[in-house]
């Protein structure tokens, strides 16, 4: 018998919980380096356009699927059309792929917090510090283990609610602090060029890659196309307005990503002396740039410590939601004891996480499809599996259960204002774009096509 589900108390509870999963390293670490790499303003523009169309439609669809069935991914698809439960199964694999490498990055954040607490800010702001750290063998693995250890402990003890409460206080502080750092860094000499680069779209920098990167980022950042929003939807009460909750989660998530970009990209310009190659450095961007900003700022070591602490919290709420998803899927399937499952998931994450960490150091020569191990996991989940799940979800909603099923669910709690947009995106625009993008990304990965 299906256990009775707990529900979120109201709209605010729902929005905050979903935002807690959505806002994480994706916004603060991943978004800025992608925006820097893929042309600044043009990436921002494409991202926002995708967020208000794809992101909106898919999030409404997923939350409604969950709320309608009261089940998480696999059960939700199965309930509506049992032949299609495989969509839920593919979706469920994604969090298991993300969790290990997410925790490696979480480990980097933990390390920077430790360095700032122990007064090592100046050292951390030197060129080469970050690369020499991630290329070591023991230290990054140790911090990765600390991060995944805390995540497992919270999931094991079932104290997620406690963490959520703390993060409800931390999250607004993070926003204010990010805003403060963003404004501060805009006024560092030389930063204005970076502000312009970030907010002015330059059409000549547009390419299929921009759209691919923006779309993968959108799914990742909003925790879409991996079953998570379906689960959140299953806990949502019928009288909470679904459409406006989605808008609020999107504004929250995109707003923080935007501010994170504003905090980091102008500083790259200020500290690289106009050398734009610094923009393309990828995953290290935040870790290389921010210590320089803090080092420049009066009282920077305190602000920096606070900042990394808050980012760590945002990362933990996301990793906890990833791990919790994996654990509950295994539990639903096997019925095993939660403790044992937690142990297995932890072990599995350690086994996949260690190579991701070593890929930056002694295993740097291991390249698959021209990518290091961490980037490969990121690529498999964000550029392949998530677009596939998104495509299947659109197909499922658009042609199997029909958009009306979702519309009826949304309208239980008020008028569906952007109903037409929803239908057009789910049935036509999203599937066509996703197919095009998926093909490009596959051809490109196998070196058959360059853009
Ligand atoms: N959305 C989170 C982020 O932006 C990552 C995440 C993905 C969290 C999936 C939970 C589930 O960091």
The 10s digit of each residue's pLDDT in 312-343 is 988 998 999 899 889 988 888 888 998 999 99
Res. 102 pLDDT band, cuts 50 70 90: very high
Length of the chain: 451
Q: Which of 107, 93, 383, 365 is nearest to 228 (CA)?
A: 93
Tell me what pLDDT residue 448 has: 61
Cα–Cα distance measured from residue 393 to residue 61, given in angstroms and rounded to the nearest whole number: 8
Cα–Cα distance measured from residue 372 to residue 336, given in angstroms and rounded to the nearest whole number: 35
pLDDT at 3 over 50: no
Tell me what pLDDT residue 290 has: 94
Q: Give the Å distance between the CA of 99 and the centre of ligand 1.
A: 9
Q: Give the Å distance between the CA of 23 and the centre of ligand 1.
A: 7
pLDDT at 163 over 80: no
Least confident among 21-35, 77-91, 329-343, 434-448: 434-448
Q: Which atom of ligand 1 is nearest to the CA of 22?
A: 1
Res. 101 pLDDT band, cuts 50 70 90: very high
Contacts of 347-354 with C-beta under 8 Å, sequence gap 24+, read: 348/96, 348/100, 349/99, 349/100, 349/103, 349/148, 349/323, 350/100, 350/145, 350/148, 351/100, 352/97, 352/100, 352/101, 352/377, 353/100, 353/101, 353/103, 353/104, 353/144, 353/148, 354/141, 354/144
Tell me what pLDDT residue 10 has: 75
pLDDT at 345 over 60: yes
Selection from 43-57, 69-83, 357-371 with the highest mean pLDDT: 43-57
Express as a percent the part of the chain with pLDDT over 70: 96
Q: Which atom of ligand 1 is nearest to the CA of 222?
A: 1
State which of 55, 171, 255, 322 you would mutate to test the pocket of ligand 1, scoring each by most atoms of that ligand within 8 A of its C-beta: 322
Tell me what pLDDT residue 82 has: 92
pLDDT at 108 over 80: yes
Tell me what pLDDT residue 299 has: 92
The predicted-structure confidence for 166-216, as pLDDT tens digits, reads as follows: 777 888 888 899 999 999 999 999 999 999 999 999 999 998 888 888 998
Q: Which residue has the higher pLDDT, 139 or 169?
A: 139
Least confident among 112-121, 160-169, 306-315: 160-169
Helix/strand/coil for 379: helix
Q: What is the DSSP letter of 180?
A: H
Residues 359-366, mean pLDDT to the nearest whole number: 88
The predicted-structure confidence for 378-434, as pLDDT tens digits, reads as follows: 989 988 899 999 999 999 999 999 999 999 999 998 899 999 999 999 999 999 989
Cα–Cα distance measured from residue 100 to residue 352, given in angstroms and rounded to the nearest whole number: 6
Least confident among 86-100, 331-345, 429-443: 429-443
Q: Give the Å distance between the CA of 60 and the centre of ligand 1.
A: 17
pLDDT at 273 over 80: no
Neighbours of 159 (CB within 10 A): 13
pLDDT at 303 over 80: yes
Q: Token digits for 41?
A: 């303003």
Q: Hunting for tokens 């639903």 — which residue is that?
A: 332
Q: Give the Å distance between the CA of 296 and the centre of ligand 1.
A: 31
Tell me what pLDDT residue 451 has: 47
Q: Which atom of ligand 1 is nearest to the CA of 27?
A: 4
Q: Which atom of ligand 1 is nearest to the CA of 24?
A: 12
Tell me what pLDDT residue 267 has: 93
Residues near ligand 1 (Cβ within 6 A): 21-22, 24-27, 95, 98, 220-221, 223, 226, 228, 318, 321-322
Which positions ≥6 away from 118 have C-beta within 8 Å? none
State which of 102, 249, 377 you would mutate to test the pocket of ligand 1, scoring each by most atoms of that ligand within 8 A of its C-beta: 102
State which of 106, 155, 321 you would mutate to test the pocket of ligand 1, scoring each by most atoms of that ligand within 8 A of its C-beta: 321
Average confidence score pLDDT of the chain: 90
């Amino acid at each position: 018998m299906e256990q009775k589900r707990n529900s979120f108390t109201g709209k605010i509870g729902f929005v905050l919980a979903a935002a807690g999963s959505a806002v994480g390293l994706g916004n603060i670490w991943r978004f800025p380096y992608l925006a820097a790499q893929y042309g600044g303003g043009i990436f921002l523009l494409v991202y926002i356009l995708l967020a208000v169309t794809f992101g909106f439609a898919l999030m409404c669809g997923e939350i409604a699927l969950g709320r309608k069935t009261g089940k998480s991914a696999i059960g939700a698809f199965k309930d509506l059309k049992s032949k299609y439960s495989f969509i839920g199964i593919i979706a469920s694999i994604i969090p298991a792929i993300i969790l290990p490498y997410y925790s490696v990055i979480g480990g980097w954040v933990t390390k920077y917090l430790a360095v700032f607490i122990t007064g090592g800010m100046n050292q951390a702001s030197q060129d080469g510090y970050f690369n020499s750290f991630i290329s070591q063998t023991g230290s990054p693995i140790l911090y990765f283990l600390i991060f995944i250890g805390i995540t497992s402990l919270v999931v094991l003890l079932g104290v997620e609610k406690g963490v959520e409460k703390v993060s409800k206080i931390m999250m607004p502080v993070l926003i204010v602090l990010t805003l403060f750092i963003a404004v501060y860094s805009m006024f560092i000499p030389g930063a204005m060029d970076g502000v312009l680069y970030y907010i002015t779209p330059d059409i000549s920098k547009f390419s299929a890659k921009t759209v691919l990167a923006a779309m993968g980022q959108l799914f990742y950042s909003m925790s879409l196309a991996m079953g998570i929003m379906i689960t959140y939807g299953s806990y949502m009460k019928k009288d909470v307005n679904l459409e406006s909750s989605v808008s609020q989660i999107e504004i929250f998530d995109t707003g923080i990503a935007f501010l994170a970009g504003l905090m980091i990209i102008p500083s790259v310009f200020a500290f690289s002396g106009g050398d734009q190659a610094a923009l393309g450095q990828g995953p290290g961007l935040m870790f290389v740039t921010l210590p320089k900003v803090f080092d420049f700022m009066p009282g920077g070591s305190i602000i920096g410590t606070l900042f990394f602490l808050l980012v760590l919290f945002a990362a933990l709420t996301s990793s906890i939601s990833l791990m919790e998803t994996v654990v509950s899927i295994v539990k639903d399937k096997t019925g095993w004891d939660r403790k044992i499952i937690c142990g297995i998931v932890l072990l599995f994450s350690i086994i996949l996480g260690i190579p991701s960490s070593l890929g930056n150091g002694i295993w740097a020569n291991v390249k698959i499809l021209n990518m290091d191990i961490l980037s490969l996991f990121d690529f498999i989940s964000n550029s392949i599996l998530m677009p596939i799940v998104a495509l299947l979800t659109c197909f499922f909603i658009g042609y199997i259960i029909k958009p009306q099923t979702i519309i009826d669910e949304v309208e239980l709690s008020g008028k569906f204002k952007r109903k037409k947009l929803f239908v057009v995106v789910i049935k036509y625009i999203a599937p066509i774009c996703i197919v095009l993008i998926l093909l490009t990304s596959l051809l490109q990965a196998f070196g058959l096509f360059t853009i």
